[in-house]
Amino acid sequence: MQQVLRFGFLLLLSISSIAQAQSLPRPKLVVGIVIDQMRWDYLYRYYDRYASNGGFKRMLNQGFTCENTLIPYAPTVTGCGHASIYTGSVPAINGITGNIWWDRNLMRAVYCTEDKTVKTVGSTTALGLQSPRNLLVTTICDELRLATNFKSKVIGISLKDRGGILPAGHSANAAYWFDNTVGSWISSTYYMNELPAWVKEFNAKKMVDNYYTQGWQLLYPANTYVQSTPDNKMYEGTPFGDQLKVFPYNLKSFIGKNYVPILYTPMGNSLTSAFAKTAITKEQLGADAITDILALSYSSPDYIGHSFGPNSVEAEDNYLRLDKELGDLLDFLDSNVGKDQYTVFLSADHGVTQVPEYLLENKLPAGRVFMSKVTEQLNKNLAEKYKVAGLVVSDDNYQLHFNHQRIDSAKIDTDDLAKWICDYLSVEPGIARAFPIEDLNEVPLPAKIREMLNNGYYPSRNGDVQVILQSHYMDAWNMTGTTHGLWNSYDAHIPLLWYGWGIKHGKTNRETYMSDIAPTLAALLHIQMPSGTVGHVITEVMK
């Protein structure tokens, strides 16, 4: 009997050893890093100033860089970018056609992650009424959960709700975002009914008030910021108030009162990193052999870039500090997950154009198009012509959306209306093209632009007339700052860095796309691609 038991025990050990030897090699943790509003050229614009042990140089010099990574659709905005990176898809398939879009079926504007069926968790505000339900396909995070029978953990973290929710996908264990009215990280009942104890403890620290006490000082002497325009240009925004226009920024007056200004400082990145590190530790991400994913998005570069512009001292200081932040995060992963036990990719949701007035100062063509005012005047003219008010209901995402119910009731010919509008817009300064969207594949356009617009088109969430602005013109709300959203390289050329487990050292200059990230991860992890994938595996990055 003892011999039988001993034989059985040895057999089990043998089977276990064989199973271990044949187990599928995967990293313990995948960390996806999306820098909100990072142009590709920032990798090299500040290269000489990045720390040797920072994040960007480490990933460039030890990992793999895809130097010519492009966004394959328009509009190039935050919601679309985060969704497309993680779905390997485009708005025409995943349905995220903007941060906000006009929904033809609902006859109202829809925010990309809005969900009125859920409740806020972590505060009493309405900022938690969010979920991924408007996303029509799976993400790579969903596919990993499916591949491991939901044993993998997936957590999304971003100051912006859409930056944490859309990447994490439908089946995530949690997504967290920042409630800037109360200064706390929150979630929704889509994920949980109560915040975990560690999140409550983190919120109780009131880290934002500590950051406000420190204020925003320059990391290095002011005369070393030679890649930037002088501080306090007239075309820079003033997110801290009209009395705070130059460094150093004293933020003490906001303590305990106003949690919006933190978004416009590099301390927003520090807050995000601190929360992410706590999540890794408390949720034990990467603690076992089952691969987990942390979908991490840094939002402050976008707030800073919009307000001050990409050539500001503020933008340069932000990226120098973010480089150190990323280096610290990689050090943390080395210590807590294990060196060569995790895989990181870093990319961006979009780029940004320079501030028009900065370009004009340097004799470069640029300008502002105030589309909301254009649309307002357009509606007045249409009301006089057709005797019907409010025929154009939205100009979101560089498109005009018609009120088809009013058009039908007034028996207005839609084709005639669209032609009249296009003729009207064609003489507006800064507008290069305006045409009915249904004619997209017939109007004379370079194939690249046509493909990007097609990839951004989902019928019930898109408009009737497409507007294309001239190079370096932007849809503006005021006379300061800048924005993004167009097909041009300054908005569509983004970084893509790979580092860690399974990644070769090297680079490629061939054209790759944002939509290639998810299928490459799927190949690396030996799992199914997301359900709407149109991208391709970047085979060069893998060992």
Which residues are paired to 156 by β-bridges?
175, 295
The answer to whether residue 78 is catalytic is yes
Cα dihedral value 348, 350, 351, 357, nearest 10: -150
Task: Report how far residue 351's alpha carbon sits from residue 347's, in angstroms, rounded to the nearest whole number.
Answer: 10
DSSP letters for 224-271 = G-TTSPPSS-TTS--TT-TT--SSSB--GGGTTT--SGGGGSTHHHHH
- Tokens representing 304 are 């800073």
DSSP letters for 293-344 = EEEEEE-HHHHHHHHH-TTSHHHHHHHHHHHHHHHHHHHHHIIIIITTSEEE
Q: Do the beta carbons of residue 337 and residue 499 sit within 8 Å?
A: no
Residue given tokens 């999540």 in the structure block: 279
Give the three-state DSSP class for 73: coil
Task: Report how far residue 431's alpha carbon sits from residue 470's, in angstroms, rounded to the nearest whole number.
Answer: 6
Give the three-state DSSP class for 351: coil
Q: Do the beta carbons of residue 288 and residue 27 sit within 8 Å?
A: no
Catalytic residue among 65, 69, 76, 78: 78
Q: Do the beta carbons of residue 116 and residue 123 sit within 8 Å?
A: no
Q: Do the beta carbons of residue 530 and residue 522 sit within 8 Å?
A: yes
Which residues are known catalytic residues?
78
